[in-house]
A = this chain, B = another copy of it.
Amino acid sequence: MTDLKPKNPDFDAVVRNSFGRQSFMDFIGADLTQLSAGSCDISVPHQAGLTQQHGFFHGGLVSALADSAAGYAAFSLFPANSTVLTVDFKVNFLNPSEGKLLIAKAQVISMDRKICHVNGDVFAMKDGREIHCLTGIFTMMCLEGRSDSANLGRAKVAS
């Protein structure tokens, strides 16, 4: 029922270009480590600036990573000349985010013309094993006719 065939043959370049313009991903040291139609992984190595009061990765950082991965998993299926918006998301924290590396893995569940539902999970790599830190569901929207690179200025984006 769900068609995960990409509509834009250049989706790989388009997504990586957009990721490169997300200053926040660069700021936290994140890399886009896997991309295919409807699927995206983003990783970030541990550094002191990314932690909460117990020394673990900050939960907000963990969910931000999942949000970016989910957005790009969705965006990979969108047509040319469109952009992606997070409508909402829900995340559950399963285990402390402790380890040397975080990996967010997102996979599209269902894609309609406008709305894309995406699963996102985050794993911490610690002592050679994967700890499942977060699971979530992300609702993404396709805005056709809007460039992903243009600054949308004062325009109401989510309309």
What count of chain A residues pass the 8 Å CB interface test? 68
| A9-32 to B contact mask, C-beta < 8 Å, 1/0 | 000000000110111111100000
Chain B contacts for A113, CB-based, 8 A? 159
**For the complex, would chain A's binding face be called helix, strand, loop or mixed by DSSP majority?**
mixed
Chain B contacts for A64, CB-based, 8 A? 58-61, 63-64
| Additional pairs, 18, CB under 8 Å, beyond known A1-B95, A93-B158, A96-B157 | A1-B131, A21-B52, A21-B53, A23-B48, A23-B50, A23-B58, A53-B83, A53-B149, A56-B152, A63-B64, A87-B115, A87-B139, A88-B117, A89-B90, A90-B90, A90-B137, A95-B157, A137-B137
